[in-house]
C-alpha cells in the first residue's frame, strides 16, 4: 500500500489543501492512504472520520509536533499533545504510550533535527525523503539513516494539491487503521520511495505558525 505519511490540511494555517481534495484526488495520484499531520493539532478528528473511506482511501490521523530540537510526525493512542515539551521528553512519552515518532525533514536548513536524537535512537524513524526539501537536504537525512541504522520513510509534506503524493512510503502489509500503521512502522515493514519531482527547489519554503496542543496527564 502506498501512503503519503506527511500531509497538511487547511487546519494548518500555512496549507491550502482541503480534506475534500485529499479524499477526491489521492487515488488518482496513486495513493492507497494518507496521514493527516497538521501542525501541533489533531483537530481533524472533530470534523472528519478516520479510517477507510467510501472510495477505499485509508485516512490516518497524526500530527506534526514542533520542538526546539526538531519537528516530529507522531502517531499513537493520543488525541492532543500539550505544547512546549522538549524533544527527548516528547519522544519518551510517545514510545511509552505505544505510539511512534518520525523525525520530519531532519536536515532542512530552517527546521532541522538535533543529530544526537537520531544517533542515540530516541527517534528510530527518519523522513529521509521530504517532498519540500532540497536534494542535498534529503541526501544528508538518508546518510544519517545509514550511519545510525534507523529506518527511512518518505512524505510529501503537502500543503497544496499539486504536492500530494510527491513522496510516498510503501507498506508491505495492509493498513486499515492507526494501529496497523503504528505496528508496521515499528516492525519495519515498509519502503521509502522517491518521486522524480521530490526535492525540486521550486517548491515553496516550509513556514508555519505553531498552534497549542495538549496530552492529558502531561
CATH code at position 75: 3.20.20.140
Band of the pLDDT at 197, cuts 50, 70, 90?
A: low
| H/E stretch holding 67 | strand 63-67
C-alpha to C-alpha distance for 20 and 36, rounded to whole angstroms: 12
Band of the pLDDT at 196, cuts 50, 70, 90?
A: low
SS3 45: helix
Residue 14 lies in a domain: yes
pLDDT at position 21 over 70: yes
**Core vs surface per residue 192-211: b (16+ CB within 10 A) or e:** bebbeebbeeebeebebebe
In the block, which residue shows the cell 493498513? Answer: 175
Residue 205 lies in a domain: no
pLDDT at position 184 over 50: yes
Q: What is the mean pLDDT of residues 56-72?
A: 98
Residue 212 lies in a domain: no
**In this predicted structure, what is the pLDDT of residue 181?**
99
Q: What is the 3-state secondary structure (H, E, C) of 156-178?
A: CCECCHHHCCCCCEEECCCCCCH
Residue 61 lies in a domain: yes
Q: Minimal CA–CA distance to 72: which of 101, 42, 108?
A: 101
Residue 210 lies in a domain: no
Residue 201 lies in a domain: no
Residue 170 lies in a domain: yes
Band of the pLDDT at 74, cuts 50, 70, 90?
A: very high
Using alpha carbons only, give the angle 111, 20, 40 rounded to the nearest 5 degrees: 30
pLDDT at position 209 over 90: no
Domain of residue 54, residue span? 2-192
SS3 153: strand
In the block, which residue shows the cell 491550502? Answer: 16
Residue 15 lies in a domain: yes
Number of domains in the chain: 1
Amino acid at each position: 500500500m502506498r501512503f503519503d505519511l506527511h500531509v497538511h490540511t487547511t487546519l494548518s494555517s500555512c496549507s491550502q489543501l482541503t480534506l475534500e481534495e485529499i479524499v477526491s484526488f489521492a487515488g488518482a495520484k496513486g495513493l492507497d492512504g494518507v496521514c493527516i499531520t497538521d501542525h501541533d493539532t489533531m483537530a481533524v478528528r472533530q470534523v472528519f472520520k478516520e479510517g477507510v473511506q467510501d472510495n477505499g482511501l485509508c485516512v490516518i490521523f497524526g500530527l506534526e509536533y514542533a520542538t526546539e530540537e526538531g519537528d516530529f510526525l507522531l502517531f499513537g493512542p493520543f488525541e492532543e499533545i500539550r505544547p512546549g515539551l522538549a524533544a527527548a521528553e516528547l519522544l519518551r512519552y510517545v514510545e511509552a504510550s505505544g505510539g511512534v515518532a518520525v523525525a520530519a525533514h531532519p536536515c532542512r536548513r530552517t527546521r532541522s533535527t538535533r543529530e544526537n536524537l537520531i544517533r542515540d535512537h530516541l527517534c528510530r524513524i527518519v523522513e529521509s525523503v521530504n517532498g519540500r526539501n532540497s536534494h542535498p537536504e534529503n541526501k544528508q537525512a538518508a546518510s544519517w539513516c545509514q550511519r545510525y541504522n534507523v529506518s527511512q520513510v518518505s512524505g510529501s509534506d503537502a500543503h497544496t494539491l499539486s504536492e500530494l503524493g510527491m513522496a510516498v512510503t510503501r507498506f508491505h502489509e495492509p493498513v486499515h487503521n492507526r494501529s496497523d500503521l503504528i505496528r508496521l512502522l515499528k516492525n519495519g515493514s515498509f519502503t521509502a520511495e522517491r518521486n522524480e519531482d521530490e526535492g525540486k527547489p521550486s517548491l515553496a519554503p516550509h513556514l508555519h505558525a505553531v498552534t497549542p496542543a495538549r496530552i492529558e496527564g502531561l
